[in-house]
Amino acid sequence: MVTEEGIRQRGFIEQAKSYISDLEKELGRKPTCCVTTFGCQMNARDSEKICGILSDVGYEIIESEDADFVIFNTCTVRDNANLRVYGRLGELKSKKKKNPQMKIALCGCMMQEPSVIEKLKKSYRFIDLIFGTHNIFKFSELLCSMFENEGNMIIDVWKDTNEIVEDLPVVRKYPYKSGVNIMFGCNNFCTYCIVPYVRGRERSRTPEDIIEEIERLASEGVVEVMLLGQNVNSYGKNLENPISFAELLRRVEKIDGIKRIRFMTSHPKDLSDELIEVMKESKKICRHLHLPLQSGSTAILKAMNRNYTKEKYLDLALKIRKEIPDISITTDIIVGFPGETDFDIDETIDVIKKVKFDNAFTFIYSIRTGTPAAKMEQVPEEIVKKNFDRVLKTVQDTARSQVGKDTGKTVTVLVEEVNEHDSSLMTGRMSNNTLVHFPGDIDLIGQFAEVKLEQCNGFYYFGSQMN
């Protein structure tokens, strides 16, 4: 949908083009820029929007941070994400010393924290531009301000917005697959989590806008879409004409050219029977569900404000396994939430063993200032470490046998890229999200291939192509 704000921003794109063309003349070459993304798929999608504008205004996008303009799209879900950004900023500072013309911008979730902005203002004066998660669509306008105010730190962070501006250029990282935002923000306020504070309240895009975007992507050759939201199961509830997530999936299924549909993330409290039904009947929805458990202890789940019990989670996961036997279920687990006892850890381990997760991202609880859990009594570090190792070991054991169960089968994979470590191998993704590495030709990228799964190495396979 064309919006008034979109038209306004296009004006700034034209303005920015003239600044970049002046810079190009001065440098005697095309100015380069690099966008480094920290964190989740939502951030990855936001970075594609930032790259879309950068490329439109005349920058050459490169992978190296030895660029004329470097942008960090930050994450703040755990404290180590913040620490990494500060560490990398130190490196940028010395690059800028050597090249004073260099511009540096920071955006994303970390910028929504007032304490971070204070610290940057005080100790990181070399940064040129700071903006948050709610005004990415204003990036071209901010770029213009940056060029018009050389030497000053421009800070534009909004608390929240209802505005959804999507009619701006995007540069996709992969030609054959794409993320699609279906909603923004989160209303759940899990007591450990900073996301509702930095991403604001839940806002769904209309199904018409989403379908139009996916149809356009399909016409550009995209075969796989990942529908993105912090809690996709509550999609559409607050729209003027409410619609369920399952119904949205039915509509996406009908789009010609789209062969695979994925989505992230599902909150167990909102996962409906209708969704299980739609997944079961679908030819396109991938056999994968990411269903964050966080803890297997009902007491801890209550303290986390998760709105389900151990039994409810188990019932749901086992029902899904029964209805869709070839599905893989992955999860997120936090170890060390305030008040967590050995008994609580045993409960988490019990759920892992019963559900047999295909993969689990296990995190050590990280205090986020401003969240309710930050004020609760914390578990000593040595105990957390010991519990973390126990949980991780259980996850690795169950995942190995669960993932390996397809050994010997031939499956369809979407070939994604050349293997990172061995360029004679290609890497493909199965419908259930497991990766397979196999000898193959680079031309296969973006194509579907039939691959025999020969050897399972924990979380992935080695195989050989059959067609």
Binding site for ligand 5AD (CB under 6 A): 77-78, 192-193, 292, 294, 332, 334, 363, 365-366, 368
Name the residue nearer to ligand SF4 (CB basis): 128 or 202. Answer: 202
In the complex, minimum distance from the CB of residue 269 to ligand SF4, in angstroms, rounded to a whole number: 9
Q: CB count, 10 Å around CB of 180?
A: 22
Q: Are the beta carbons of 89 and 124 closer than 8 angstroms?
A: yes
Residues 157-176 binding ligand SF4 (CB under 6 A) are: none
| Dihedral sign from CA coordinates of 400, 401, 402, 405 | positive
In the complex, minimum distance from the CB of residue 233 to ligand 5AD, in angstroms, rounded to a whole number: 14
Work out what residue 235 binds among ligand 5AD, ligand SF4, none; the CB cut-off runs from 5 to 8 Å by kind.
none
**Is there binding between residue 233 and ligand SF4 (CB under 6 A)?**
no
Please report which helix (H) or strand (E) contains residue 335, including its range.
Answer: strand 328-335
Work out what residue 51 binds among ligand 5AD, ligand SF4, none; the CB cut-off runs from 5 to 8 Å by kind.
none
Mark 88-117 with x for binding to ligand SF4 (rule: CB under 6 A) and - for no binding.
Answer: ------------------------------
Work out what residue 134 binds among ligand 5AD, ligand SF4, none; the CB cut-off runs from 5 to 8 Å by kind.
none
Pick from 73, 231, 359, 432: which binds ligand SF4 (CB under 6 A)? 231
Q: Are the beta carbons of 172 and 35 closer than 8 angstroms?
A: no
Give the separation between CA 33 and CA 146, rounded to whole angstroms.
Answer: 15
In the complex, minimum distance from the CB of residue 401 to ligand SF4, in angstroms, rounded to a whole number: 28
Name the residue nearer to ligand SF4 (CB basis): 105 or 193. Answer: 193
Give the separation between CA 206 and CA 251, rounded to whole angstroms.
Answer: 12
Give the separation between CA 10 and CA 26, rounded to whole angstroms.
Answer: 25
Residues 313-332 binding ligand SF4 (CB under 6 A) are: none
Query: What's the Cα-to-Cα distance from 355 to each of 48, 208, 352, rounded to whole Å?
Result: 35, 37, 5
**Is there binding between residue 303 and ligand SF4 (CB under 6 A)?**
no
Work out what residue 267 binds among ligand 5AD, ligand SF4, none; the CB cut-off runs from 5 to 8 Å by kind.
ligand SF4
Name the residue nearer to ligand 5AD (CB basis): 78 or 177. Answer: 78
In the complex, minimum distance from the CB of residue 36 to ligand 5AD, in angstroms, rounded to a whole number: 19
Beta bridge partners, 155, equal: 130
In the complex, minimum distance from the CB of residue 195 to ligand 5AD, in angstroms, rounded to a whole number: 7
Give the separation between CA 26 and CA 5, rounded to whole angstroms.
Answer: 32
Question: Length of the chain in residues, anyone?
Answer: 467
Pick from 20, 106, 186, 198: which binds ligand SF4 (CB under 6 A)? 186
Packed helices 310-323 and 342-355: angle between N→C axes, nearest 10 degrees: 10
Six token digits for residue 270:
């909102």
Angle of CA points 4, 10, 12, to nearest 5°: 115
Q: For the purposes of burial, counting CB atoms within 10 Å of the CB of 285, is it exposed (0-12), middle (13-18) or buried (19 or more)? A: buried
Query: What's the Cα-to-Cα distance from 204 to each of 150, 184, 246, 351, rounded to whole Å?
Result: 37, 6, 14, 32
Residues 187-206 binding ligand SF4 (CB under 6 A) are: 188-190, 193, 195-196
| Dihedral sign from CA coordinates of 230, 232, 233, 234 | positive
Name the residue nearer to ligand SF4 (CB basis): 200 or 207. Answer: 200
Task: Give the DSSP letter of residue 424.
Answer: T
Name the residue nearer to ligand 5AD (CB basis): 185 or 292. Answer: 292
Interface stretch with ligand SF4, choices 35-43, 118-126, 181-189, 437-445 (CB under 6 A): 181-189
Please report, as ranges, the residues that interact with ligand SF4 according to CB under 6 A. Answer: 186, 188-190, 193, 195-196, 230-231, 267
